[in-house]
Amino acid sequence: MGFSTSLQGQSSHEALLARQDAEIKLLETMRRCLTIKVKSDREYATTISSLTMQGKKIERNEDLVGSLVVQSWRDIMDSIDQTAKLIKQQADSIEAIVVEHITTLYSERRRARKIYQEEQTWLNNQFQQLTDDVARKKLEYQKNLEMYKLMRSRFEEHYVKSGRVGRKLDEVREKYQKACRKLHLTHNEYVLLLGAVTECEHDLRTCYLPSLLHRQQAIHQEFITSWKTILQDIVKYSDFTTDKFQEIHRRMQKAVDSVKPVEEYRDFIGKHRTRPASPIRFIFDENLVDDTSGKLLPNKLTVDNLTIDWLRNRLTELETSLKATQQNRQNPQYPSENNSDSKISILDYSREREELRLRCQEKRLQRQVDVIRAALNELGCEELPLGYDLSMESSFTDSPSISKAFRGISHLTTNQKGNGNGDLMEEEWFHGVLPREEVVRLLVTEGDFLVRETTRNDECQIVLSVCWDGHKHFIVQTTPEGHYRFEGPTFPSIQELIRHQWLSGLPVTSRSGAILKTPILRERWELNNDDVILLEKIGRGNFGDVYKAQLKTCKTEVAVKTCKVTLPDEQKRKFLQEGRILKQYDHPNIVKLIGICVQKQPIMIVMELVPGGSLLTYLRKNASTITQQEQLRMCKDAAAGMRYLESKYCIHRDLAARNCLVGYESIVKISDFGMSREEEEYIVSDGMKQIPIKWTAPEALNFGKYTSLCDVWSYGILMWEIFSKGGNPYSGMSNSQAREKIDAGYRMPAPENTPDEIYRLMLRCWEYEPEKRPHFDQIFTVVETLSQAYL
């Protein structure tokens, strides 16, 4: 237990300064008392009582509780009171040695305190400077973001008014592009700064601060050693040979011996102990990128045609600065040491501060170099992304002039059918518009490959994706004659091009070295979009509209969820996640997946059509006719479905009446797996967006930790919805009010006519500690037993 590990907090710092002040005051008291003692040798008889009383009146005594020095001093004062008549013989020695030593110690103590306070102030200023740097860069980011929004709005306005041509439109477009570029550069500077200041703050907190406190402890203990010498001198010049005074002397010596520098601050440290200094967390403000259409991502450099040159130049500058800093660290230039006094060297932090500054600067530069290198290396083989968002133009018109002005680097565009390209739909290794993230999931072994379609700025591109030293994506190039190629020969169709690359064993490009070995065929769940006939819109989901549809082959009516074409790939990946989860499950109380359609836009998830609609709507429409037996059966169906999910280690995370469907014979089916995770435990790290607060367990809201027992809490709310016949949980409360009351122990009362056993089960589901809640296997047993009892 020492200063460096136990006194890092601000309150400890204040307490240490207070202790230093108290010790300085004590030195003043000792010097004053000994001076008076010397002067009062001849007047001892009349002054000794007041002298000893004054010596015991230690200022700021509350800050010296547990001090061995204080106790020793008090004992010495008692002995002085008994030996008053003998002090005169030692007056000269005490004045010449002891008082002078105290004066010197007093000056050194004050200097040490001043230096410590200056170092703490410097350290706090460093932390504040790091925080201010981030705040200033964030403010700059926000200003550039506002300018970006303004220029984008003006561009759209002039675009519509001017009819897509004219000098004014060109000027507005130029300003818009300039604002985009400035926003992207500021974004990158913000990302680099966050990583750099994190490294610097870590060194300040974990290296410099503990070193400062460790030195302070050494200084304090050294002062205590000097202090002990002063006390020993007092004893020495108060020594007498008579038995009576020798006994007094022994008591004084014992009091001095009780002073131990290592133990002096034990009680002080224990009383004022604080936790090690918490790190200053520099977190990317995700609100800054909300309005950039997914072009800018938190904590990720943007590598595109607006930033690529800047990044390369910046990398060169940083590497030059890094090399210079490393050379300075290897050959440090320190001033010559003129003072060999150990006390002075202990208080001299200049060398350590300079070493820390260089190390912090090196880490800051190295972090930025690593981030830029990694971002440039991740660019891969696919075309450079566009750096400004003009996607709205494709919704205005299909004019060739606009296409020429704003489309990307690649010219390739192919029709999936016709124009010498054959019918890609017939090839099992063609996966349509499957998002890039899904493609990466399918390609797992070196040489695995497939072909997909992507769209950029309203232009269709055919991409060959290969698992090779990671994942590489090659755009099929077109020749002026309408043939297709990569680096080698041209072919009249994409099928022939792919077969050539596969069978020849030649790398797709010499730079990548990627060789095609195993074609990854479409999964049996991948349906052709043309096999699904959309009939009528029946709802709206998070990603697009929901339709009643019919399968061409068997005339079966189905439900189809569609994904908006304009959503970024990340959102499309989340959309397909529900299909990926559902295709593994087969249970009468889980909505069944029929297939997914990714051959072309829009992407669709095809599921069984559950005719009764959502359970919440059903409860509200039939509130006057639903019986208690039906309510119990609904609870039983939901429990059966959740028991099945629990056995598959699936956490639903959004169980509620609105996400359950009512099928034939009023059977309840669990639906809407958009937030589900196939893990025993899942930690949310992306904030509380789209979290159903009133249905979510406290540990998930407070700590982002999800388990199947969180679904148990939600199931308790679902039972409450069923027995309240579609009521609103925590009616009249806001989300934050409901959270506060739940944390304080509040639980909703039972809805009218709810069986006591059901309400007790609800309360068990709402236990604050997750481990006290029942699992779904137990819940199903209870509900099934009750359901049979009410037959």
Coil, strand, or helix at residue 258? coil
Determine the Cα–Cα distance for residues 581 and 674; give it in Å rounded to an integer.
9
Token pair, residue 432, equals 């349509």
Are 599 and 427 in contact, with CB atoms under 8 Å apart? Answer: no
- Compute the distance between CA of residue 218 and CA of residue 224 in angstroms, rounded to an integer: 10
> Rounded to an integer, what distance in angstroms lies between the CA atom of residue 147 and that of residue 155?
12
User: How far is it, in rounded angstroms, from Cα 359 to Cα 509?
Assistant: 42
- Residues 6+ away with beta carbon under 8 Å from 495: 421, 422, 424, 427
Cβ atoms within 10 Å, residue 82: 16
- Active site (annotated) includes residue 654: yes
Cα 599 to Cα 607: distance, rounded to the nearest angstrom: 17
CA-based Rg of the chain, rounded to a whole angstrom?
39
Q: Check residue 749 and report its DSSP letter.
A: P
Q: What are phi and psi of 570, to 5 degrees?
A: -60, -40
Judging by DSSP bridges, how do beta strands 518-519 and 448-456 pair with one another? Answer: parallel
Q: Among residues 253, 262, 222, which one has the least CA distance to residue 235?
A: 253
What CA–CA distance (Å, rounded) separates 46 from 752? 91
The distance in angstroms from the start CA to the end CA of the chain is: 69
Three-state DSSP at 558 gives strand
| CB crowding 728-757: b at 16 or more within 10 Å, else e | ebbeebeeeebbeebeeeeebebbeebbee
Tokens (6 digits) for 519: 């074609």
Among the listed residues 41, 203, 233, 654, the single catalytic one is 654
Kindly list the strands in the beta sheet with 518-519, ordered across the sheet, starting from the edge strand earlier in the chain: 471-475, 459-467, 448-456, 518-519
394 and 558 in contact (C-beta within 8 Å)? no
Instruction: Report the DSSP pairing between strands 593-597 and 526-527.
Output: parallel
The residue type of 678 is E
Half-sphere exposure of 54 (CA within 13 A, CB side): 15
What is the identity of the amino acid at 205? Answer: R
Instruction: Give me the half-sphere count of Cα atoms (radius 13 Å) on the Cβ side of residue 234.
Output: 29
Q: Which amino acid is at 617?
A: T
- Tokens 């022994």: give the residue: 250
Answer whether 643's CB lies under 8 Å from 588's CB: no
What does DSSP assign to residue 519?
E
Residue 169 neighbours by CB distance under 10 Å? 16
Continuous segment of H or E residues that includes residue 540: strand 532-540
H or E element, residue 364:
helix 350-377
Burial of 516 (0-12, 13-18, 19+ CB in 10 A): buried
Residue partners of 483: CB distance under 8 A and separation at least 6? 420, 490, 491, 492
Distance of CA 179 to the CA centre of its chain: 29
CA distance 697 to 48: 73
The two tokens of residue 51 are: 């002298």
Q: Return binding residues for ATP.
A: 538-546, 561
Q: Comparing C-alpha atoms, which of 486, 296, 505 is closest to residue 382?
A: 486
Whether a cis peptide bond, with omega within 30° of 0, leads into 770 is no
Binding residues: 538-546, 561
Q: Point out the residues that are catalytic.
A: 654
